[in-house]
Amino acid sequence: MTKQVANILGVSFSTRGFDETVADLVERIASGRKTHVVTANPEIVMLARENRSLRAILEQAYVVPDGIGIVYAARWTKQPISERVTGVDLLEALMAAADRHQWKVYLLGASPEVNRLAAEKLAGRYPGARIVGYRDGYFQQGEEPAIVREIAEKAPHLLFVAMGSPKQDEWIARYRDQLQASLMMGVGGSFDVIAGKVKRAPKLWQRLHLEWLYRLLAQPSRWKRQLAIPRFVWTVLKEKGENRSERYP
């Protein structure tokens, strides 16, 4: 039986492929199992090494490999992660399931315009899904209890939160027991892509695993965040070498 979890620098990732992940999450929603999905990349893994509270959140979450660096790290350490499970693709697949099952969906985060456009586009593409609420991410901390109450009253099957990482997952973890949502997932900039405000990398770039480079070229301001990638690679290879030395003194 294939191992269902791979450990990458202390973070436990699901080893399920994309289709298997979707099927597993759909089954969880249908059976009423509350699930917090985190789409983690090398940047999140490196941040978790320094941030104890984030590490604790990841330990309780369903973590999927959103980032080709995670797939390569699993390959280098001989662990069974075969493909990326990207946030925007997972969101679309879960919306397709919501369309089939007439599930309720709530969208939280991004700018007012992006949030509204994303809700409209998703409602148009998946008419069977019920968009029971949407709210932008421009709110003060004092407004959070009312927002949490509203989401809890709607009791959505799917709650997508677009606040950027790690803020979105910290927010979900803070309120998950009050939200009455079946599946909660931080989706980063996915609303911007769905709304048509940000263009995703062409399919060729995606197949070549260069989506990260496309985003960097499109948004040069991301360069500081991308520094996490070489640090991640170095740390994985360093720990791999140390583990090998321990086995063969």
pLDDT at 180: 95
pLDDT at 1: 42
| pTM of the predicted protein model | 0.87
Q: Give Cα 226 to chain centroid, integer Å.
A: 17
Q: Is the confidence at residue 215, as pLDDT, over 90?
A: no
CA–CA dist 82, 245 (Å, integer): 26
**Which pLDDT tens digit goes with each residue over 79-138?**
999 899 999 999 999 999 999 999 999 999 999 999 999 999 999 999 999 999 999 999
79 φ/ψ angles, rounded to the nearest 5 degrees: -120, 150
Which residue in this structure is represented by tokens 């109450």?
149
**Which pLDDT tens digit goes with each residue over 156-208?**
999 999 999 899 999 999 999 999 999 999 999 999 999 998 776 677 666 75
Contact 131, 123 (CB under 8 A): yes
